[in-house]
């Protein structure tokens, strides 16, 4: 069985007589994460992006080729291709339709209210002449006395 990436990195570290703490300081990767890398416990690490970054840093600290270490890691991992979930759930079509009906109802209600306000609004020519001149001053009639 070929050597795992964790075993490879541990052997390289031990060949250079470096401790886990020294690697941790050089890479700025926590000691616990370095231990998990060497134990091939990649599922216990934060995520794929971080694992790749940790491996590159670890490889550079040991003067190894980062691409070689990443290739070993990729070869050792069984990546399962997961079918992405649909954007809407199977019951989502019914909710979407109800939402569209609700929007249409609100728009019709607004249009009905607007039309009703236009129809019921009094027009100027419908108001009697006397009422339309309420604010006009009355004519002044004065008699001159001598």
pLDDT tens digits, one per residue of 77-106: 765 455 566 665 555 556 678 888 999 999
Among 89, 91, 27, residue whose Cα is nearest residue 59: 27
Residue 101 backbone dihedrals phi, psi, to 5 degrees: -65, -40
pLDDT digits (tens, 9 = 90+) for 29-87: 999 999 999 999 988 888 889 999 999 999 999 999 999 999 989 888 765 455 566 66
Q: Flag whether the pTM goes above 0.75.
A: no
Phi, psi of 128 (to 5 degrees): -60, 150
Domain boundaries, the chain: 5-76
Q: Tell me the torsion sign for CA atoms 77, 83, 88, 92.
A: negative
Domain 5-76: state its class.
mainly alpha
Residue 68's SS3 state is helix
Question: Looking at residue 135, what DSSP letter applies?
Answer: T
């Amino acid at each position: 069985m070929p050597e795992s990436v964790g075993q490879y990195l541990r052997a390289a570290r031990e060949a250079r007589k470096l401790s886990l703490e020294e690697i941790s300081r050089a890479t700025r990767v926590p000691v616990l994460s370095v231990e998990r890398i060497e134990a091939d416990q990649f599922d216990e690490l934060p995520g794929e992006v971080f694992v790749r970054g940790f491996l590159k840093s670890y490889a550079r600290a040991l003067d190894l080729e980062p691409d070689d270490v990443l290739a070993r890691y990729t070869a050792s991992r069984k990546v399962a291709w997961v079918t992405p979930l649909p954007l809407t759930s199977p019951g989502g079509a019914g909710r979407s339709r109800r939402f569209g009906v609700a929007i249409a109802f609100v728009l019709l209600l607004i249009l009905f209210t607007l039309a009703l306000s236009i129809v019921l609004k009094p027009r100027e020519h419908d108001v009697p002449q006397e009422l339309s001149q309420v604010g006009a001053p009355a004519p002044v009639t004065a008699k001159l006395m001598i």
